[in-house]
Amino acid sequence: QVQLVESGGGLVQPGGSLRLSCAASGSILSISAMGWYRQAPGKQRELVARFIVGGRIDYADSVKGRFTISRDHAKNTVYLQMNSLKPEDTAVYYCNLDARLISRSRGDYWGQGTQITVSS
């Protein structure tokens, strides 16, 4: 009843930029939070940036000033503009949705993940 379609990502040189998109579709009644997490090899999955109901935005300290999350509410889509990319940003990035669906209780939903590699 819900799909998260991620796009963007790929290989970029240090200092470069990329933009990720995540479009949610399905029988969504309400969204409590939506954003991006990432997981690097050998590390735990961590928050990158997210919108929370009421308008609050959370960023990981490591990306503040470099990454910007934005949204298109009408399309249930979030974007992550990543500037000044560093090798340590290399990870699989996952779109996350915390939402209540029309026919289900509130739950957590994940995209398939997209690889970001920052390397020369």
Nearest Cα to 94, choosing from 32, 16, 4, 2? 4
Spatial contact of 6 and 95, defined as CB atoms under 8 Å apart: yes
Spatial contact of 57 and 48, defined as CB atoms under 8 Å apart: no
Mention every residue, 6+ apart, whose C-beta is less than 8 A from residue 24. Answer: 2, 3, 4, 31, 34, 76, 77, 95, 97, 99, 109
All residue ranges of the chain with pLDDT < 70 are none
